[in-house]
Amino acid sequence: MKRRSITRLLALLLVISVFACDLTVFAETATADESGDKTVAEETTGNDTEDEKSDDASEKDKETDANATEYISDRIDKNYTNISSKYTYSKYTGDVIKYNILDIYKSTVDAEKKVVDSLTTETLNYENADKVVDIGMGDTATFIIDVAQAGVYVFAMDQVCYETDSILAVEMTLKVNGEVPFYECNRLVFESKWKEAEEKVYDKYGNEIVASPSKVVEWSKAYIKDASFRYTTPLLLQLEAGKNEISMKVTEGSIKIGDFYLMGETSVPKYETNHVAEGNFFIQMEAEKPTYKNDSSIRPTCEYDPDLTPYNSKKKVLNILDSASFADSGMSLTYEFTVPADGYYYIGMNYRQSDKVDFPVFTNIYVDGQIPNDQLQGYGIYYAKNFKKTTVKDSNGKKMGIYLTEGTHQVTIELANDKIRECLESFDRVMSEVNDLSLEITKVAGTTTSEYRDIEIKEYIPDIEERLQRWIDEIEESYKYLSQFSNAKNCGTISYLVTAIERLEDLAKDPNDIPYRRGELATDTASVNQDIANTINELNANNLSIDSIYIYQEGGKDQIPGKTNIFVKIWESVVRFIASFGAQSYSTGDADPTHLQVWINRPRQYLEIIQQLVDTTFTPQTGIEVDLCIMPDAQKLILANAAGESPDVAQAIDYTQPFELAVRNALVDLTQFEDYKEVMGWFPEGILVPSVAPSDNEYGAGIYSLPETFYFWVLFYRTDILEKLNIEVPETMADVQTIIPQLKNRGLEFFYPTAGTTGQRSFAMTTPLLYQYGTSLYVATDDEASSKAYYATAINSEDGIAGFEALTELFTIYDIPQECSSFFQHFRNGDVPIGIADYFMYSQLINAAPEIENSWEISLVPGIQQTDAEGKPMYDEEGKPITLNMTAGAAQNSCIMKSDSDVLVTNINGGEDYKREDAAWEYLKWWMSTETQVAFGNNLQITYGKEYIWNSANIEAFQKLSWKSRDKAIIVEAMENIVESPRIPGTYMLERELSNAYIDVVINGTTLRTALDSAVKRIDRETKRKLQEFGYLDESGNIVKEYSIPSVETVREIIGTN
C-alpha cells in the first residue's frame, strides 16, 4: 500500500506539473489561504479572486479573442453557405460540358496507400464507354478535368451503386485541387433507388406485413448534395481555368463512375397563371405502394379506419404511409401513372400532418424529374390532425393545373428544408457561439463558483453584452421569419424560441451574474442551447402520412372517395370489437402443441420478420412448424415453468435470467447436444460466462443459453473539438488521466459510465477497471481458524483495490463529473466531448444527432498498459501500447426450457417427429446462424429504418451486417475484449454492494478500504445464505458439493478452445 500511495502521489504531481505548462494568463494561482485541499481539477481551473485579476485589459482582450477562435467549427464556419458567398467567379451559363471517363481518369490509391488500377470492363451496361472506374471502400480515385473558363459550376457524374447485399448508401469525401472545397464535401451521400415488392406478403395469420424492398441497380447522374438535405438542390463548385484535380475517397460501400459533367445552375420556372384541368380523368394511387423511393426504410403501416383504402375490419392490411418513416428532409417517393391525352391535370392527396402544430411540412413536388414551377418548390403541407383530402393549390388558393402529354409520367414528393435553411444555420451558429461563451466563462470563473465571490465578467469578456444582444436579435429575426408560415398567434413548433429570447434577455440584465448561471447558457436541460436544439428538432420533424395520391381533372373530381358515414363507422367498430375476442396473432393462448413454442421478448414487428424467415427457410428445411408468441412477462418465466406453461424456447430475455432459471433446474444444458462446440464458437468467449451454471456433465458446468445480441462499450469522442485542441485520443487510462486537466482547463469534461445514473451502478459500469487490473470477483478459500471452506468475494484483494482505486480516483482526484444524466446531450453540445458509453449512445448519435454526423468517431475503451517481467511498459510492433481493454457486453440471450410434455413436435416433411428439446435446439442453431442473423438484421433495417440496427452476438454475422465499416471494425475488436461477470447464487448482492461502495467513496467521501470491507461482509453473508439455500453449503457453512466459479477459462474448457 505504501508503494501505491507513493505512485499515486507522483502521478498527481506529474499531472499538475504538466498541466501547469498549459495554464492561460488569466488562470492565476490561488492564494494560500484559499487553496486548502484541492483535487487536480481545482488546481487547474481559474478560481481567481478579485485581487488576483490581471490589470492588463488589452492582454485579456487578446486572450479572449484567441479563445473564441479556438472553438470555431468547420461545420459552421466552412459550410457551403459561407464558402459559396465568397465565390469570386461568375456562375457558368453555357452548354453542358462532358468529360469522357477514359480521358480524365488519372489513378487510384487503395486504403493501404498502394496504387491500383480501377478501370474495369464490368460496366453494368454503361452506354457511354466500354470501361468505367470502380472505387472500393477506402480507395481514392483522382481525375483531371480541363476547364476552359474559370467559374462556378454544377458538377455531376454518371454513377451506379451496385452492391445489392448492403443497404447503406455509398459515401465519399471529395477534394478539388487537394482541398475539401466546403464542409459538406467531407461526406457526400449517393442514395440508391428502391422498388417495392410486386407481391403483397402475409404472415401465417393472414395479416399483411411489410415486405422488403429491392435495390434498383441502374446508372444515373449524381450531383454534389448536402447530406443533411438543408439544400435539396446541387451545391456549386468554383473551379479555376485550366487543369483541376478532382479526388474522391470512398468511405462507405463501392461505386462505379462514368463520365463527368460541368453545367450551369438550372432555374425553376416562375408560376404564371392558373390553368383549369378540363376533362373527366381520374386515377387513385395508394401512397403506401410507391413505384420508387430513395430510402429503404420508408414504409407502410396499418390503421383501422374505414375512410382509408384499402380497409379490412378483421385482418391487418397496410393502407397508409407511416409518418414515422417519412420524416427526414431529402426523403422522396415517386409514383408512376398514365394519362390518356395531352392536357392539364390536378394533383391531390389524402394526408395527415399532425406533428407540426400550426406549421407546414415543406415539400418539393416534381413531375417527370423537374419542378414545374417555383410554387411547387418548398410547397407547404399544413397541419391536419386527421386525414384530410386536398389538392395542390397556387398562392391564391386556386387548384394548380399541371400540363402533361399523353402517356406515362411520374410525380415525386420530396421532403425539403430549403425554406427554413437559413434559420437552421443561424441556430447552429448561435448555439456554437453560446457554447463558446460558456467555455470562456468557465476559464475565467472555474468549474465551481461561489455566490459570495464577485466577478466583473466584462473585464475578461468586454463584448459579452453585445454578444447576448446579437443572439437575441438573430433569434427574434428567425422567429419573425418562421411565423409567416403559421396562421396561429403563438405557433407551437417555434415556441421554444420565445423561451430562449426571454432567457437571454434575463441574463443580459446583469452579465456579472452569468458565471453563477452559466448552465442557463448551454449545459442545463433548461438552457438557451436546449431551447434552440428543441426548435431544430421540431423543425426537422417532417413527419407526413399519406393514404392516397390523386391525378384528376374537373370532371373526375366526384370520383375522389368521400367520408364514410357515421353508421358504417359504428358498425365497423362493433365488428372490430367482436373480432378482438377471437384468436389473436402471436398470442400465447392460441398455440398448437404439435408446433414448437417460442416466446420472444420483442415487439411485434420483430416477430413478423422472424416468422417470415421461419416459414420460408426453417420450416421447409426441418419440417418443424413454429408458433412465435410475444412474451407476456419475461420475469414470470419461472412461474410459467412451475405451472407447466412455459415455452420450448425463451428468446431475447435479459442475459442474467438464464442462470436464475438454470439453478432452479428449468433449463436444458446445451452441452448435451453433440454439435454444441461448433455453435458456441460463433460467439465471443467472454459473453458466454453468465450462461455458465452447475451441471452433471464431465466439466461440472454447462452453458444454458446462447447470446443473441450484445451491447458494446467504446470510447466516443468529438473529432472536431479534440483536433482543434490538439488532444490525442487516449489509448490507456494513463492517457485519460493526462487529458482530463487539458480538458478542464478549457471548461470541458470526460464522461465515465458510472456518472450516467443516480441509482445502482451495474457490473458493466463498475467492473471493467477491476478486470483490467486482474481482479477475480470471487474466490474459493479456506478459513483455517474454523476449518471450514467457503466462497468469498475478492473485490478487496490487492488487484481489486487497485482497480477500484483507479475507478474512484477518476472522480475524487481527477474530478470528472459524478453525475451526467445525458452524456448524449452534452456530447452534442460539445461540453463533454469524450467519454465511454455503449450501444445505446451509438444508436442515438447515428439517428438523433445529424448536426454532428461528421464530427465524432469511436475507438476502443482505454485500457491498462501491460508491463514485462521487469515492470517496463510493453508496446507492439507499431509502437502502440499493449493494453488490457476489458469491457462488459452481454445483452439478450435465448434458452431452451425443460418440458414435461410427451407431445412430440410434428415433422411435416414426413420424417420422424422431434422431441421438444431437439426441435428447440434445431431452432436455436438456425436462429443464431450467420445466414439467418444477416438476413434478419438486413430485413429489419431495410423494412423499418436505420434506427433498427441489429447488434448480433454472432461475430461472423455482425461483420456482414450493414454497420458503418470503420465503426464495425472497432466494435468487432471490442467484442474480443468482452469479459462478463460470472453468476453464482447471490451475485445480485455483489453487484449492489459494489455500486454502494462506489457511491460511498465518490459521493459520500468514505475511505476506500472502509467502503470495500463493509461491502465484502454483506456480500459474503448473502453469498453464504444463497449457497445454503441451493444446497451447496450446510447450515454450518461446510461445503456439501463443490460450486465452481465460472470464468472465461471455464468457457474455454467446455467449448474446447483452451
pLDDT band at 102; cut points 50, 70, 90? very high
Cα atoms in the 13 Å half-sphere on the side-chain side of 905: 25
If you average pLDDT over residues 265-292, what whole number do you get? Answer: 95
pLDDT band at 448; cut points 50, 70, 90? low
Residue 983 and residue 656 in contact, taking contact as beta carbons nearer than 8 Å: yes
Is the pLDDT assigned to residue 761 strictly greater than 90?
yes
Predicted local confidence at residue 250, as pLDDT? 96
Residue 1049 and residue 704 in contact, taking contact as beta carbons nearer than 8 Å: no
Distance of alpha carbon 329 from alpha carbon 536, whole angstroms: 13
Provide, rounded to the nearest whole percent, the portion of the chain with pLDDT above 90.
Answer: 71
CA angle at 880 for the pair 874 and 886, rounded to the nearest 5°: 75
Provide, rounded to the nearest whole percent, the portion of the chain with pLDDT above 70.
Answer: 91
Distance of alpha carbon 1025 from alpha carbon 1034, whole angstroms: 10
Distance of alpha carbon 66 from alpha carbon 215, whole angstroms: 50
Of 566 and 234, the structure prediction assigns the larger pLDDT to 234
If you average pLDDT over residues 890-900, what whole number do you get? Answer: 88
Integer CA distances (angstroms), 128 to 125, 258, 260, 573, 693, in order: 9, 8, 11, 60, 65
Distance of alpha carbon 324 from alpha carbon 316, whole angstroms: 19
If you average pLDDT over residues 25-30, what whole number do you get? Answer: 33
List, for residues 245-259, the tens digit of each pLDDT value.
Answer: 999 999 999 999 999
Q: Among 500-514, 609-623, 630-644, 974-988, which stretch is predicted with the lowest mean pLDDT?
A: 630-644
Residue 389 and residue 350 in contact, taking contact as beta carbons nearer than 8 Å: yes
Estimate to the nearest angstrom the gap between the alpha carbon of 266 and the chain centroid. 36
Predicted local confidence at residue 655, as pLDDT? 95
Q: Among 423-432, 455-464, 468-477, 588-597, which stretch is predicted with the lowest mean pLDDT?
A: 588-597
Is the pLDDT assigned to residue 681 strictly greater than 50?
yes
Highest mean pLDDT among 121-135, 432-446, 642-656, 1040-1054: 121-135
Residue 1025 and residue 1032 in contact, taking contact as beta carbons nearer than 8 Å: no
Predicted local confidence at residue 543, as pLDDT? 96
Is the pLDDT assigned to residue 826 strictly greater than 80?
yes
pLDDT band at 450; cut points 50, 70, 90? low
Predicted local confidence at residue 233, as pLDDT? 95
Q: Which domains does the chain have, with CATH numbers?
A: 2-70+422-540 (no CATH), 88-263 (2.60.120.260), 282-417+542-569 (2.60.120.260), 588-710+891-975 (3.40.190.10)
If you average pLDDT over residues 802-823, what whole number do you get? Answer: 94
Predicted local confidence at residue 782, as pLDDT? 57
Q: What is the DSSP letter of 617?
A: I
Predicted local confidence at residue 583, as pLDDT? 61
Q: Among 794-803, 924-933, 1029-1038, which stretch is predicted with the lowest mean pLDDT?
A: 1029-1038
If you average pLDDT over residues 131-135, what whole number do you get? Answer: 97
Distance of alpha carbon 793 from alpha carbon 777, whole angstroms: 6
Is the pLDDT assigned to residue 1055 strictly greater than 70?
yes
Predicted local confidence at residue 580, as pLDDT? 63
Q: Is the pTM of this model over 0.75?
A: yes
CA angle at 968 for the pair 921 and 292, rounded to the nearest 5°: 90
pLDDT band at 870; cut points 50, 70, 90? confident
Of 169 and 639, the structure prediction assigns the larger pLDDT to 169
Integer CA distances (angstroms), 349 to 284, 299, 321, 379, 609, in order: 9, 17, 12, 14, 30
Q: Among 481-485, 500-504, 773-777, which stretch is predicted with the lowest mean pLDDT?
A: 773-777
User: From start to end of 463-559, where are the E strands?
Assistant: 545-552
3-state secondary structure of 286: strand
Buried b (16+ CB within 10 A) or exposed e, 231-267: bbbbbbbbbeeeebebbbbbbbbebbbbbbbbbbeee
* Long-range CB contacts for residues 499-504, cutoff 8 Å, separation at least 24: 499/531, 500/475, 500/528, 500/531, 500/532, 500/535, 501/472, 501/475, 501/476, 503/527, 503/528, 503/531, 504/468, 504/471, 504/472, 504/475, 504/528
Q: Strands 856-859, 402-404: parallel, antiparallel or unpaired by DSSP?
A: unpaired
List, for residues 965-1023, the tens digit of each pLDDT value.
Answer: 999 999 999 999 999 999 999 999 999 999 999 999 999 999 999 999 999 999 999 99
If you average pLDDT over residues 174-189, what whole number do you get? Answer: 96
Distance of alpha carbon 1013 from alpha carbon 796, whole angstroms: 7
Of 869 and 796, the structure prediction assigns the larger pLDDT to 796
User: Smallest Cα–Cα separation from 455: which of 503, 510, 533?
Assistant: 510
List, for residues 364-410, the tens digit of each pLDDT value.
Answer: 999 999 999 999 999 999 999 999 999 999 999 999 999 999 999 99
Is the pLDDT assigned to residue 48 strictly greater than 50?
no
User: From start to end of 871-1004, where are the E strands?
Assistant: 883-884, 892-896
Is the pLDDT assigned to residue 586 strictly greater than 90?
no
If you average pLDDT over residues 497-508, what whole number do you get? Answer: 96
Distance of alpha carbon 381 from alpha carbon 738, whole angstroms: 54
Tell me what the pLDDT averaged over the chain comes to.
Answer: 88
pLDDT band at 632; cut points 50, 70, 90? confident
